[in-house]
């Protein structure tokens, strides 16, 4: 359950959550992607993040908790905060498509 909650938050913040995948300049492809229901997109992106998390666990099975906490607090959290601020700036200025 913890892995699903973390993957849900990551899918929403970094992958657009329920929004479909669109490619600029490919109207036919974008129209097809719009027919897929939003909950399918959300669950698919969440499943992808869970797969990435499990892949990391299988690849690096002996990470100590202090190594994981160092990675989170020193590297991942600042990157996440910068990403959120950058996306808020992009949305407020209207530069998104």
Low-confidence ranges of the chain (pLDDT < 70): 97
> Does this model's pTM top 0.75?
no
- For residue 97, what pLDDT is reported? 67
- For residue 73, what pLDDT is reported? 93
Q: How far is CA 20 from CA 44, 75, 82, in A?
A: 11, 29, 24
């Amino acid at each position: 359950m913890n892995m699903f909650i973390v993957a849900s938050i990551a899918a929403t913040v970094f992958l657009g959550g329920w929004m479909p995948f669109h490619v600029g300049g490919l109207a036919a492809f974008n129209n097809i992607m719009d027919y897929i229901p939003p909950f399918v997109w959300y669950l698919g992106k969440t499943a992808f993040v869970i797969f990435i998390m499990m892949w990391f666990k299988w690849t690096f099975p002996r990470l100590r908790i202090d190594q994981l906490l160092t990675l989170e607090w020193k590297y991942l959290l600042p990157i996440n905060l910068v990403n959120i601020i950058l996306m808020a700036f992009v949305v407020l200025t209207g530069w998104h498509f």
